[in-house]
Amino acid sequence: MQELKITRPDDWHLHLRDGAALKAVLPHTVRQFARAIIMPNLKPPVRSLADATAYRARIMAAIPAGRQFEPLMTLYLTDNTKPEDIIAANASGFVKAVKYYPAGATTNSEFGVTDIRKCDRIFETMQHIDMPLLLHGEVTSNDIDVFDREKVFIEQYLIPLKQRFPKLRVVLEHITTADAVQFVLDANNIAATITPQHLLFSRNILFKGGIQPHFYCLPILKREQHRQAILQAATSGNPKFFLGTDSAPHGRNRKENSCGCAGCYSALHAMELYAEAFESVNALDKLEAFASFHGPDFYQLPRNTEQITLTKTSWCIPNELPFPDSGLVPLRAGEEITWQMVYKRQ
Ligand code: DOR
Ligand code: ZN
């Protein structure tokens, strides 16, 4: 296939940051996607409707002139979130979900929840008003091997949570394991986002010829058998699986550091990366539904009507992109990629 025309996609899991970083990265997402679910892990996090309203205004102000983009906001769940906060945010119409980070699991998660079982009043409210809960599904305990943290989260917390709140709509974000795929397939009212890096790479890439900090994200890349399981899920046509890049910009100096940050930057070339992954298993015919239909259907939003074109052609991913303080290294920097996305406003 040389050319693929599909409905304009959305990104159902995105980190945009704030200030100068936001201005540096937002044009990439706006070119690739019509809408995105915006992660609330700022410092301090987006915890209230007032925070979300102000952050949304800053995002809108950073959209390049003449472009259209809809940020779908989320609230960051803390030990102190009240049911009233959730109800007010939901009533706004532009806050679409609540994000759960276990305290200490990842970037800016120190305000996160210390014990998920303490949030039952919140989950009850969310189930009642039918607001989705987005999970960073990893345990944080030091006793648990970093490669097992998703599987153990499902066993220890997610299965009981779904038993307590069977109708609560849940997105298990950035899934990385065959265990997560199986759980999502078996349970009701649950979906999962899948990133390009988890479709394209196993954990071997982290140590290829030396330590490779630009492939370090959380949840960490897993064994090849897990990559194959999520690739199979993404390309299966099952509406429970949809696109979420988890594009997470950190400057080069924060990544190439004695204690490097977690996050891969893919907003520049997300659709091209997904196209390569789908093509690798002859499943390009399944890309449109994964990228453009399953997400809005889950979130109960209309599908986009415009189209994008992906063309089979070779170009080189830049070594570095402009970013405050130090450059931003995109995923697979300096390598050839064999698809190119074009979007012209209709
Ligand atoms: O790799 C990651 N980066 N995983 C996360 O959960 C957070 C994200 C970030 O904000 O940098
Ligand atoms: Zn994320």
At 143, is the pLDDT very low, low, confident or very high (cuts 50, 70, 90)?
very high
CA distance 30 to 101: 26
Provide mean pLDDT across the span 74-99: 97
Cα–Cα distance measured from residue 92 to residue 280, given in angstroms and rounded to the nearest whole number: 42
Range of the domain at 111: 3-343
Look at the block and give the residue holding tokens 């102190």.
80
Among 57-66, 99-108, 311-320, the range scoring the smallest mean pLDDT is 99-108
pLDDT score, position 108: 76
For residues 151-157, average pLDDT? 97
Interval between CA 319 and ligand 2 midpoint (Å) = 23
Q: Measured on CA atoms in the order 39, 43, 266, 56, is the torsion positive or negative?
A: positive
- Partners of 74 in the beta sheet? 97
**Count of structural domains within the chain:** 1
Q: Is the pLDDT of residue 104 over 90?
A: no
pLDDT digits (tens, 9 = 90+) for 226-280: 999 999 999 999 999 999 999 999 999 999 999 999 999 999 999 999 999 999 9
Q: Is 122 within 8 Å of 79 (Cβ atoms)?
A: no
How far lies 150's CA from each of 27, 144, 312, in Å? Answer: 32, 10, 35
Q: What percent of the chain has pLDDT over 90?
A: 92
C-alpha 264 – ligand 2 centre gap (Å): 10
Residue 103 has pLDDT above 90, yes or no: no
- Under the banding of pLDDT at 50, 70 and 90, the label for residue 106 is confident
What average pLDDT does the structure give for the chain?
96
Which has more pLDDT, 253 or 343?
Answer: 253
Give the pLDDT of residue 276. Answer: 98
Residue 138 has pLDDT above 90, yes or no: yes
On the question of pLDDT at 345 being above 90, the answer is no
% of residues, the chain, pLDDT over 70 = 100
Average pLDDT score over residue span 83-104 = 96
Which residues have CB under 6 Å of ligand 1? 15, 41, 106-107, 136, 217-218, 248, 262-263
CATH number of the CATH domain containing 322: 3.20.20.140
Predicted local distance difference test score (pLDDT) of residue 119:
95
Structure tokens at 206: 């982290």
Ligand 2 geometric centre to CA of 137 (Å)? 11
Between CA 89 and CA 243 the distance in angstroms is 24
What ligand has the least distance to the C-alpha of 218? Answer: 1
Query: Given this model, what pLDDT does residue 346 score?
Result: 67
Average pLDDT over residues 179-199: 98
Section 212-233 average pLDDT = 98
Which pLDDT score, from 0 to 100, does residue 150 have? 98
Decide if 240 contacts 185 (C-beta within 8 A): yes
Secondary structure of residue 242 in the 3-state scheme: strand
Question: What is the rounded average pLDDT of the residues 85-102?
Answer: 97
Supply the Cα-derived Rg of the chain in whole angstroms.
Answer: 19
Ligand 1 test: best mutation among 15, 16, 222, most atoms within 8 Å of CB? Answer: 15
Residue 268 identity (one-letter amino acid): L
Which one of the listed residues 85, 130, 246, 297 is annotated catalytic?
A: 246
Reported as a single tens digit per residue, the pLDDT across 60-77 is 999 999 999 999 999 999
Q: What's the rounded mean pLDDT across residues 132-152?
A: 96
